[in-house]
Amino acid sequence: MRFLQKELPHLEMAKIRKFPERKICQLCDYCQTTIFSGFWMCCVCGREYCLSCYEEWNDSDDSLKETRKCSQKRHHYKEQLVPIYHYTKEEIVRLFDQCNQMILDDEDSSDLDEGELPDDDAANLSAESSSSTIKSVESSRVMTRRRKDSRKYRTSKSKAKATTVHFKDSVVSISNQDNGIFTSPPQDCHDRTPQLHDEHKKTEYKANEMTEEIFRDLWRKGYPFVIKSVDKLKENIWKPDYFIKHYGNKDCTVIDVKENVEYKMDVKTFFRGFEDSSKRFMNKYGTYPCLKLKDWPPADDFAETFPEHYEDFSNSLPFKEYTTRNGIMNLAHRLPLEINRPDLGPKMYNAYGSEDNVGGKGTTNLHLDMTDAVNMMAYAPSVENRLEEERDKPAAAVWDLYHPADLPRVRRFLRKIAKEYGLSINHPIHDQCFYLDKGLRDRLAAEEGVTGWRFFQNPGDVIFVPAGCAHQVCNYTSCIKTAVDFVSPEGVARSYIVNQQFRKLRNGHKRKIDILQLPNILYHAWVTSWDESSD
């Protein structure tokens, strides 16, 4: 509905229609987010601007002139841009009416509210600096589903149970309900008021005790959790020796997690030092860097590069309706095959052991993602085969995770740390420039009252991370993990908020480009769901 509300007035002005190119993800040339239907274009240079950027446009703002330069040595002005659309007024109105009808049919429709979500970091930052206690009431479009067992959803390969995904407005007050959306901090940073996610004490589940009902309840609230000892993977194909034998001559790029320096090497060189530090790569300074091979393969499809691993991983995932590529509850699956789909993985994450004590650099810095994610540890050396300093660690890896409601406090704390370190940052979390070692975690708890959750992960353990949930990772020993992203109905409101935060990042920021295409995902999820419910 949020997207559609901007489209209707635009269609009253737009007279030119341009059919969307399915093989190209059309992005706004200023904010780098996906253009859904309506946009504004310069007929001289062809630059395209989304409806939000046009709405925020201020010709008198000199700071934007460089970005809005036309190729013909002139500046763009609002009145010179031409309105264009992809979908007709009839299509948008029909879509709008269908959304409204679904909302009216919902039993909770009496609670609807048209308030705005604090959907960018600027809103949260203003709340952080406020001197008064703020209790925010938030309204969100939350994707929920209806099952109709008698209907069938047709895919190109098979038929699955029909699933209707629909929007539902909900009024949420932090005093009595929690749907996982960002909330404002209280006045006194030393006296954090209790949050509803503080109730989330049980974070570990055995495979046989995690039910679909429990999963959906946790996911709706934005609560991460770990399923212990799934143990379904084929052990032999996930060992370092296997990758040395079958992929050893392939080139790869690895990162020194302590110095943030990249090195080029072959796969054999990296994995040879996985359990034997004497065989590790030595840099020009005569030291052995702590290396990480992330997002492997970086560009190619995991299913094509590692077909056996892809099948093994996919078969081992819990809640396949959500977590697999063809899962009926994975909204990204609703995109037509001919569309240039986002690459949501799987990807492999391999790294040597690091430290999380005072001065430790961890393995992956604090960050958050626009999508939901599931991460499975496939391999770590047995305790007796680990380096001597790694043998007394409580697990193979440790995760620190923070609920979205606590992130205003986390951001405020990290901005203070950035000042202490003399760092210039754009966004304290999206820049992914901090690992909270023990000293910083203790300070965060003492100064902001935020402790988050700690998850210990061993081979066979599966960690679920909701969209918008900030997290960092430290491998205590060398680990091989595989992760995949997905877009769930329960988490799509949080995905939208992160999407809007990325949009506000400075130009050139590594997280700014919208690779998810959330508006397109929502549109096709809605259309396919409405068609099913109308059968």
445-461, pLDDT tens digit by residue? Answer: 999 999 999 999 999 99
150, part of any domain? no
- Return the higher-pLDDT residue of 330 and 25: 330
Residue 109 has pLDDT above 70, yes or no: no
* Segment 204-214 mean pLDDT: 95
Q: Which of 475, 495, 305, 278 is nearest to 396 (CA)?
A: 475
Claim to verify: residue 83 and residue 200 sit in the same structural domain = no
Quick one: pLDDT at residue 303?
A: 96
- What residues make up the domain containing 279? 196-533
* Segment 167-194 mean pLDDT: 42
- Model confidence at 185, in pLDDT bands (50, 70, 90)? very low
520, part of any domain? yes
Quick one: pLDDT at residue 475?
A: 98
Residue 209 has pLDDT above 90, yes or no: yes
360, part of any domain? yes
Quick one: pLDDT at residue 141?
A: 32
Helix (H) / strand (E) element for 37: namely none
Last-in-domain residue among 31, 66, 89: 89
Chain position carrying tokens 């005569």: 286
Claim to verify: residue 85 and residue 201 sit in the same structural domain = no
229, part of any domain? yes
Quick one: pLDDT at residue 123?
A: 38
Last-in-domain residue among 68, 89, 110: 89
Claim to verify: residue 262 and residue 382 sit in the same structural domain = yes
Considering its fold, how many domains does the chain have in total? 2
On the 0-12 / 13-18 / 19+ scale of CB atoms within 10 A, 61 is exposed
Q: Are 87 and 114 in contact (CB under 8 A)?
A: no
Quick one: pLDDT at residue 267?
A: 97
Claim to verify: residue 224 and residue 342 sit in the same structural domain = yes
Q: What is the pTM of this model?
A: 0.84
Quick one: pLDDT at residue 99?
A: 76
Last-in-domain residue among 52, 73, 89: 89
356, part of any domain? yes
- For residue 279, what is the domain's CATH number? 2.60.120.650
Mean pLDDT of the chain: 83
- Model confidence at 223, in pLDDT bands (50, 70, 90)? very high
- Model confidence at 124, in pLDDT bands (50, 70, 90)? very low
Residue 64 has pLDDT above 80, yes or no: no
Chain position carrying tokens 């697990």: 395
Claim to verify: residue 375 and residue 505 sit in the same structural domain = yes
Quick one: pLDDT at residue 160?
A: 36
Quick one: pLDDT at residue 105?
A: 64
Claim to verify: residue 67 and residue 205 sit in the same structural domain = no
Claim to verify: residue 358 and residue 481 sit in the same structural domain = yes
Helix 121-128 with 407-421: angle, nearest 10 deg = 80
Write the pLDDT tens digit of every residue in 365-416. Answer: 999 999 999 999 999 999 999 999 999 999 999 999 999 999 999 999 999 9
Q: Which of 510, 498, 468 is nearest to 197 (CA)?
A: 468
Chain position carrying tokens 């509905």: 1
163, part of any domain? no
The percentage of the chain sitting over the pLDDT mark of 90, rounded to a whole number, equals 64
Q: Are 474 and 433 in contact (CB under 8 A)?
A: no
* Segment 180-196 mean pLDDT: 55
338, part of any domain? yes
Q: Are 377 and 459 in contact (CB under 8 A)?
A: yes
- Model confidence at 66, in pLDDT bands (50, 70, 90)? low
Write the pLDDT tens digit of every residue in 338-353. Answer: 888 899 999 999 999 9
Residue 7 has pLDDT above 50, yes or no: yes
Claim to verify: residue 386 and residue 525 sit in the same structural domain = yes
165, part of any domain? no
Quick one: pLDDT at residue 370?
A: 97
- Return the higher-pLDDT residue of 10 and 8: 10
Quick one: pLDDT at residue 528?
A: 83
Q: Which of 482, 158, 461 is nearest to 314 (CA)?
A: 482
Write the pLDDT tens digit of every residue in 71-104. Answer: 767 788 888 899 999 988 888 888 888 877 766 6
Dist. CA 330–CA 324, nearest whole Å: 7
* Segment 172-193 mean pLDDT: 43
Residue 469 has pLDDT above 90, yes or no: yes
| DSSP symbols for 134-165 | ---EEEEEEEEEEEEEEEEEE-SS-EEEEEEE
- Return the higher-pLDDT residue of 124 and 463: 463
Quick one: pLDDT at residue 180?
A: 38
Residue 354 has pLDDT above 90, yes or no: yes
Q: Which of 101, 117, 72, 261 is nearest to 168 (CA)?
A: 101
Quick one: pLDDT at residue 31?
A: 93
